[in-house]
Amino acid sequence: MSRYAMAIDTKRCVGCTDCVVACQTENDVPVGYCRDWIVEATSGVYPELQLEIRSERCNHCSDAPCVRCCPTSASHYAEGGIVMVDHDDCIGCKACIASCPYDARYVHPEGYVDKCTFCIHRVKEGENPACVSVCPTHAMIFGDLDDKNSEISKVLQTRKHKTLIPEAGTKPNVFYLL
Amino acid sequence: MTKRFKRRQFIKILGAGTGGAVLGTTALKAFQPGEKTDNFHLLGKATDAATPTYCEICFWKCAGWVHKKDGKPWKITGNPDDPNSNGRFCPRGTGGIGAYTDPDRLKTPLIRVEKNGKQVFREATWEEAFDYIADKMKMIKKKWGPECVALFTHGSGGSYFKTLLKAYGSNNIAAPSYAQCRGPREEAYLLTYGEGVGSPERTDIRNSKCIVLIGSHIGENMHNGQVQEFSEAVANGATVITVDPRFSTAASKSKYWLPIKPATDLALLLAWINVIIEEELYDKEYVKKYTYGFDELKKAVKHNTPEWAYPITTIKPHIIRETAREMARHAPATIVHPGRHVTWYGDDTQRVRAGAILNALLGSWGRRGGFYAQAKAHVKKYPVPKFPKPKKNWKDAFPNQFPLANLALSSGICDATIPTAERDCSFKGWIVYGTNLMLTLPQPQQTLEAIQNLELLVAIDIMPAEITGYADVVLPECTYLERYDDLRISPGRFPTVALRAPAFEPKYNTKPAWWMAKELANRLGLEKYFPWKNIEEYLDYRLKSIGSSLKEMKEIGVKKLENEEDLYYLDGEEYEFNTPTGKIELYSTALAEYGFDPIPRYTAHEEPPDGYYRLLYGRAPMHSFSRTTNNPLLTDVKSENEVWINPKVAREWGIKQGDYVVLENQDGVRSNRIRAKVTQRIRHDAIYMVHGFGRSDKRLRRSYLRGADDTHLITRVKLDPVMGGTGMRVNFVTFRKEGEA
Amino acid sequence: MQEINITSGRMNPGVDPLLHAWGWEIPLYLFLGGVVAGILFFSAVYYLRGKANDYKAAVKIAPLFVPPLLALGLLALFLDLSHKLYFWRLYTTIRWESPMSWGAWTLLLIFPLSTAWAATFVKELYPQWDWKYEILNKLDDWLKKYRTQMAWALIFLAVILGMYTGILLSAFNARPFWNTSILGPLFLTSGLSTGTAVVLLISKNHEERKRFSKLDMALIGIELFLIIHLFMGFLASTEVHIHAAHMFLGGPYTAVFWSFVVGLGLLLPLFAEVLELKGYKIPVQIPAILVLVGGLILRFIIVDAGQSSRWLYKFIEQMYY
Ligand SMILES: Nc1nc2c(c(=O)[nH]1)N[C@H]1C(S)=C(S)[C@@H](COP(=O)(O)OP(=O)(O)OC[C@H]3O[C@@H](n4cnc5c(=O)[nH]c(N)nc54)[C@H](O)[C@@H]3O)O[C@H]1N2
Ligand SMILES: Nc1nc2c(c(=O)[nH]1)N[C@H]1C(S)=C(S)[C@@H](COP(=O)(O)OP(=O)(O)OC[C@H]3O[C@@H](n4cnc5c(=O)[nH]c(N)nc54)[C@H](O)[C@@H]3O)O[C@H]1N2
Ligand code: SF4
Ligand code: SF4
Ligand code: SF4
Ligand code: SF4
Ligand code: SF4
Ligand SMILES: [Mo]
């Protein structure tokens, strides 16, 4: 078994949006939509400031409300815990959009609901997701948490990290290194 | 010759000429968002072979691969063998496909004609366009001499137009990357070390332990390899010291952010030099062995104490001391970044030189973690006959000015186009390749006046950029993804050569620059300067000289060559610098000779009056100047710029987050409306915006009137007396409401 | 002080900032579901209590509106689907964890049952009516024998339907404003109340009107109680819930909610009904219509506000994009 996850280093990330553009071309995400996005959170008052930059996307939650609430099973867990939407099963009821605390989903102009796939088509070929492979600052690590020797397992053992809104109880698999 | 077009009106839209309407509708269709896409290709893999290219979205020139899927354009990825990209493109390069797909592209040659008293563009054939240009060029040559034609160029295809212009008899060839960008830096380092910094910069950031950024906003300035090395250094725990009036992305990664009062960096640099000398923190052996003028320097900066600098810069003395010590602690693996766009306040050569001196004191030039020795491939030129010798050049227009300018000043040529009583001939013709002069040159009012005095203005572009609206003839180039260009031979840690081959057929009626230049040469009787049959032959010839071939390069994209020199060469070894004294000149003998300060000296700059704020500008990581602001993929992540305003200032003016405001500068010039970004991330005496927005050409449907154009507000500059750079951060703006009188 | 800046293609009306996946269709559907639940509930209850003739409007006439109302609701639901041609996928699985799924199945059951229920009264209301086909007439006779069973089933399904319209929303953890167990009872109560309003509108029987007026007053009272509890619950909960409540207590929804839903939709009809009971001459249509409109607006506001309330970037006013 494998459990795929992503770790994103907020220290390295410069918020360039390359991951967004790369996802767009790799996955033909139509103009006007996106599967990932950048959040810049500034805290403090001039001149004592802090900036956290995060590249965000679907968290491929282990306890995913979007999968739970989907009336047709279109939203489902695929291999390695990747949360996928089967376009031909999706009726476009948008319950999953309402259910996702991370607002990770959108309605594709063709009607079905779409979101980050962890680039499962690349992962299956042993490649990194497009966003990971393009990031100029090497801010992203993708890998298998069930493999204790994977880079991601190791980095999560050594670096301080967080997930987004853990209190929502979704058990996200995208981690932010602090 | 006709005088009819003497006064050029800006043509925003295609004339009622042939096909204008037709083009309009087809383009509109392509503009609809959410076109049918094949989104679910879990099993699909790119089967089509990839084509090598190097990126043209900025001048870092990363090499990569263009991929197709089912024969259709898909994506661009970096070439792992390329040291500029290391296999990873920046967002602009990744979004390069958008340059190809942009439905607003120029589609066919255009010629300015008059219709019912209005100037419009008429669609023309290439033959008509070339004939028009050749006739005018012949006329100018006959009447005023070939030197009265200038070439502005900022892009790969420009090299063929350079050949054309030199063959024609003019060497007035200018790029905005000199007088509006890194000219002062190159001259400052040349004066100090006898060598420039080059592009990509020879900075060994990857191995630096301490990085000092004077305004360089790495991370927003997305020069790829540099960003990669910067983040690597940060991850390895390097100390970053960022001097910037704005809490830049780089500042957020820094141990020290010094929110300096704009225009006072020279004072800070001198104070650092003072501390390093007074506390004897400099590399004594290095200074003794390699430098010239230490004692004069020591004397000159004696009074430049941190206490002296404090009221000028607003940086506290203990912070100045602490940061100076930090730099010394890590030396020589400390780098005071030389900057890139450094034309800020008119004393730029001197400011950058202060940084160069600091680097010398820290011993970082020629050392690991500082500056390395660049290696560049030697690739044979295709032999052409000797060019005719021009009788005069642009410098004649500026007697006794800018003595140390080593390259032509684009702004200078612009100024010298406006006739004066003294000049025997002003410029009569401009060929503008890949540079949007209306946004690129400061003082647009002057650019416009110059243009009105031209007999011929040819713009070669891929987009209906502002400059094309003033052209007599517009030549539509195909994008870099649809053409061959000359080889990329950029300097680096080891020499490399990269190939750009066409991945797609040119769309519409567009053509590559090499073809245009060759065709024009034919019409001007200069064909002997383009002796090759086609570009493939030309490239193959050059590649053979390094033991490769076009065929091989199409498979590998990038060829790495052996480095014959050491990267770090100043570890105690003898070395003769290419300066008058053969040493690193802390005291510049050349500057002294021309009557400039041989050691940088701080003089105060004008400050904004009450209610005005200094206009600062910079980059956003996903855009390159004005060349990407209409790119469908990149406008998707950022479609307009915003003006950064400190919350205190915003409160005073009653401006709220997201409000649209209008900026008015000291000369009463107003900007287009721009959204307010009210943020703690900027000082209260300055405002900031990203350059390249606020486009004024209707044909740019995504970017037309989106955000504001900083250039429009840069109605004055401060010239660098040393080399003619245009200091552009000397404008002050205040806030006006939309529609307010 | 936190400044949030989001960069990407999501900052557009199709995706963000409010991420309003649901427009008018879902609230209308929820409203109609509530009305139908109310009608069926009272029809069945009073049938079982032997009041079929006393409360003719409630037991026999109102159910005739159910099939068209349900059809309209389903149409709204269908219109909301963005991948319409695949709607039949709803009925290829039953997913108990998905309120959307069991709601769809409930409707599938309730539609024929309520149609049959209504049909059995047609001949009683319109004696000259003929079902044209013998088989239908036979079916009618046969169904009439099972009215009691049908009534029980209807009560059961009506309560599920009424609750479901609220639970559909409250199941969404991700939207703090929906995330309260009060939404189920509140929507059920509101549904019942709108059901009584329909009866009030069509009833010509003074006794029946008085009965349903009283019922409505009680239901309105419960609703007011639930609303107060809703906000008290939020205010005693986590930061995001407090923030969600503040959208109604000084935030963007304050005016519409308190004036239209509570004022016009609850207090005013309550007041009117009280006055009427006290003998003042007030056309019964007025409170009834107010209740219906109030119920509709309640659905709209709650669906809308829920989508605006969120965990992430919750301080949307401070967000820069
Ligand atoms: N106000 C202000 N002025 C500035 C700056 C600033 O920050 N603010 N920055 C300065 C600096 S550092 C620099 S380097 C310069 C940059 O100056 P420019 O290089 O002139 O910048 P761009 O605005 O990108 O204009 C490039 C033009 O080339 C066109 N183009 C793009 N690709 C091709 C191609 O393949 N072929 C052809 N023929 N044309 C092409 C684009 O459509 C665009 O019109 O600007 C300088 N001027
Ligand atoms: N994404 C992207 N990257 C680019 C480009 C692009 O168009 N887009 N262009 C490339 C080119 S050609 C160039 S030249 C470089 C330019 O990039 P840099 O060389 O990094 O440009 P600067 O003008 O130094 O940087 C602007 C920064 O200077 C700060 N600043 C303004 N005034 C002052 C001051 O008085 N003192 C100090 N210390 N700081 C000040 C601003 O707040 C801003 O953060 O970027 C390159 N990289
Ligand atoms: S590509 Fe990397 S550095 Fe750029 S925004 Fe994405 S994660 Fe950050
Ligand atoms: S982030 Fe949202 S869409 Fe992704 S698995 Fe979690 S709940 Fe589902
Ligand atoms: S929109 Fe599609 S994926 Fe989402 S819940 Fe409905 S059917 Fe499932
Ligand atoms: S993993 Fe793939 S689908 Fe997900 S954001 Fe990255 S590139 Fe897009
Ligand atoms: S840095 Fe980015 S835009 Fe510049 S050449 Fe490289 S990939 Fe292209
Ligand atoms: Mo530049």
Higher pLDDT, B45 or C214: C214
B360 occurs within a structural domain: yes
> Tokens 């607002």 sit at which residue?
A103
Question: Residues 46-105, chain A: which have Cβ within 8 Å of C?
Answer: 65, 68-74, 87-95, 97-103
pTM of the model: 0.93
Q: For B186-206, what is the mean pLDDT?
A: 97
- Greatest alpha-carbon pair distance for chain B in Å reads 76
Task: Name the token pair of A163.
Answer: 């997930």
Nearest to A148 by CA among A14, A2, A34, A31: A2
Euclidean distance between CA atoms A77 and A75, whole angstroms: 7
The CATH number that applies at residue B697 is: 2.40.40.20
B459 forms beta bridges with: B432, B474
Q: Which ranges in B397-544 belong to alpha helices (H)?
A: 410-415, 437-440, 444-452, 513-523, 535-544
Long-range own/partner contacts, residues B47-51 (CB < 8 A, 24 or more apart): B50/B77, B51/B501, B51/B502, B51/B503, B51/B554
Pairwise pLDDT comparison (A15 vs C243), residue with the higher score: A15
Mean per-residue pLDDT for C219-242? 93
Distance separating alpha carbons of residues A34 and A23, to the nearest angstrom:
8
Question: Is residue B16, in this structure, part of any structural domain at all?
Answer: no
In this model, does residue A6 exceed pLDDT 70?
A: yes
In 3D space, the residue among B376, B611, B489, B697 whose CA is nearest the CA of residue B61 turns out to be B489
Q: Which of A8, A17, A18, A23 to mutate to test the pocket of ligand 6 (most atoms within 8 A of CB)?
A: A23
Place B623 in a pLDDT band, splitting at 50, 70 and 90.
very high
Residues of chain C found within 8 Å of residue A36, distances taken between Cβ atoms: 8
- Cis omega (within 30 of 0) on the bond before C63? no
DSSP secondary structure of C87-152: GGGGGG---TT-HHHHHHHHHHHHHHHHHHHHHHHHHHHSTT---SSHHHHHHHHHHHTTHHHHHH
Query: How far from B95 is each of B212, B694, C290, CA to CA, in Å?
Result: 30, 20, 55
- Cβ atoms of B468 and B474 within 8 Å: the answer is yes
pLDDT for A87-145, tens place per residue? 999 999 999 999 999 989 989 999 999 999 999 999 999 999 999 999 999 999 999 99
Looking at residue A80, which CATH number applies to its domain? Answer: 3.30.70.20
Burial (CB < 10 A; 0-12, 13-18, 19+), residue B106, is: buried
Q: Please report the pLDDT score of residue B42 as a whole number.
A: 35
**Cβ of residue B658 closer than 8 Å to a chain C Cβ:** yes
More confident residue, C83 or C320: C83
Q: What is the pLDDT of residue B5?
A: 45
Which ligand has the nearest atom to the CA of B692?
1
Rounded to whole angstroms, how far apart are CA atoms C17 and B543?
53
What was the pLDDT predicted at B25?
34
Q: How far is the CA of C299 from the centre of ligand 5 (A)?
A: 22
Q: What are the angstrom distances between the C-alpha of C73 and each of B649, C70, C95, C297? A: 53, 5, 21, 16
Band the pLDDT of B44: cuts 50, 70, 90. very low
Residue B50 located in a structural domain: no
Beta strand pairing call for B558-560 and B496-498: antiparallel
pLDDT of residue B35: 30
Is C3's CB within 8 Å of B658's CB?
A: no
Tens digit of pLDDT for each residue in B214-241? 999 999 999 999 999 999 999 999 999 9
Q: Test B38 with A109 for CB contact under 8 angstroms.
A: no
- CATH number, domain containing residue C221: 1.20.1630.10
Q: Are residues B214 and B352 in the same domain?
A: yes
Residues 6 or more apart whose Cβ sits within 8 Å of residue C226: C182, C185, C186, C189
Query: What single-letter DSSP state applies at residue B695?
Result: B
Query: From CA B485, how far away is CA B500, in angstroms rounded?
Result: 6
Residue B231 belongs to a domain = yes
Per-residue confidence at B517, pLDDT binned at 50, 70, 90?
very high
Are B649 and B682 in the same domain? Answer: yes
Distance of alpha carbon C26 from alpha carbon C105, whole angstroms: 17
Answer positive or negative: Cα dihedral of B693, B697, B701, B707.
positive
* Confidence tier at B323 by pLDDT (50, 70, 90): very high
DSSP state letter for B468: G
Domain, as residue range, for C260: 25-320
Q: Tell me: do B217 and B335 sit in the same domain.
A: yes
Calculate what percentage of chain B has a pLDDT beyond 90: 88
* Same domain flag for B577 and B623: no
In which domain, by residue range, is A67 found? 4-177
Rounded to the nearest angstrom, the gap between the alpha carbon of residue B285 and the centroid of all alpha carbons in its chain is 37
Domain ranges, residue B634: 613-737
Count of the separate structural domains present in chain C: 1
What is the reported pLDDT for B15? 54
Place of tokens 């500026």: B398
Query: What is the number of the ligand closest to the CA of C82?
Result: 5
Is the pLDDT assigned to residue C13 strictly greater than 80?
Answer: no
Q: For B453, list phi and psi in degrees, rounded to 5.
A: -100, 10
Please give the Cα distance from B510 to B460 (Å, whole number).
Answer: 11
Number of domains comprising chain A: 1
- Indicate if the alpha-carbon torsion angle B278, B280, B281, B285 is positive or negative: positive
**pLDDT at position C11, please?**
55
| Same domain, yes or no: B627 and B721 | yes
The string of pLDDT tens digits covering residues C156-197 is 999 999 998 888 898 888 899 998 999 999 999 999 999 999
Contact A18 B90 (CB under 8 A): yes
Query: Could you say which of C5, C16, C21 has the minimum Cβ distance to residue A94?
Result: C21
C284 pLDDT tier (thresholds 50, 70, 90): confident
Please, which pLDDT band fits residue B36 given cuts at 50, 70 and 90? very low
Token pair belonging to C105: 């199945």
Q: Which helix (H) or strand (E) holds A170?
A: none
Ligand 8 centroid from CA B181, angstroms = 4
Q: Give the number of domains in chain B.
A: 2
CA of C18 relative to ligand 5 center, distance in Å = 19
Q: What is the CATH number of the domain that holds B585?
A: 3.40.228.10
pLDDT digits (tens, 9 = 90+) for B643-657: 999 999 999 999 998
Neighbours of B212 (CB within 10 A): 28
pLDDT-derived band at C243 (thresholds 50, 70, 90) equals confident
**Residues A29-47: tens digit of each pLDDT:** 998 889 999 999 999 999 9
How distant is the Cα of B437 from the closest Cα of chain A, in angstroms?
A: 27
In chain C, DSSP finds a helix count (H) and a strand count (E) of 12, 2
- For residue B386, pLDDT over 80 is answered with yes
Pick among B222, B252, B637 to test the C interface (most C CBs inside 10 A): B637
Q: Alpha-carbon Rg of chain B, whole angstroms?
A: 26
Average pLDDT over every residue of C314-321: 49
Exposed/middle/buried for residue B421 (C-beta within 10 Å: 0-12, 13-18, 19+): exposed
Angle of helix C285-308 relative to helix C206-235, nearest 10 degrees?
Answer: 20
Minimum mean pLDDT range among B6-15, B363-372, C140-149: B6-15
Q: What are the counts of helices (DSSP H) followed by strands (DSSP E) for chain B?
A: 25, 26
Distance from CA of B613 to the nearest CA of A (A): 17
- Residue partners of B488: CB distance under 8 A and separation at least 6: B54, B61, B63, B156, B496, B497, B498, B499, B500
Question: Domain check: are B201 and B299 in the same one?
Answer: yes
* Tally: H helices and E strands in chain A: 6, 10
Count CB atoms within 10 A of the CB of residue B169. 18
Taking CB atoms and an 8 Å limit, are C7 and B638 in contact across chains?
A: yes
Could you tell me the two tokens for B8? 């050029």
Contact criterion met (CB below 8 Å) for B115 and B138: no
Lowest-confidence segment of A143-147, B115-119, B280-284, C34-38 by average pLDDT: B115-119
Which pLDDT band holds residue C12 (cuts at 50, 70, 90)? low
Q: pLDDT at residue B276 above 80? A: yes
* Tokens coding A154: 């190791």
Q: Out of A14, A25, A30, whose CB is closest to B621?
A: A14
Contacts of C55 (CB under 8 A, 6+ apart): C42, C46, C199, C203, C205, C208, C211
Shared-domain flag, residues B617 and B695: yes
Are B658 and B675 within 8 A, CB to CB? yes
CA of C56 from ligand 6 middle (Å) equals: 61
Q: Which long-range contacts (CB under 8 A, 24 or more apart) does B413-421 make?
A: B413/B150, B413/B152, B413/B172, B413/B174, B414/B441, B414/B446, B414/B447, B414/B450, B415/B446, B415/B450, B417/B150, B417/B450, B417/B451, B417/B453, B417/B454, B418/B446, B418/B449, B418/B450, B418/B453, B419/B453
Angle between the N-to-C axes of helices C183-202 and C62-80, in degrees from 0 to 180, rounded to the nearest 10: 130
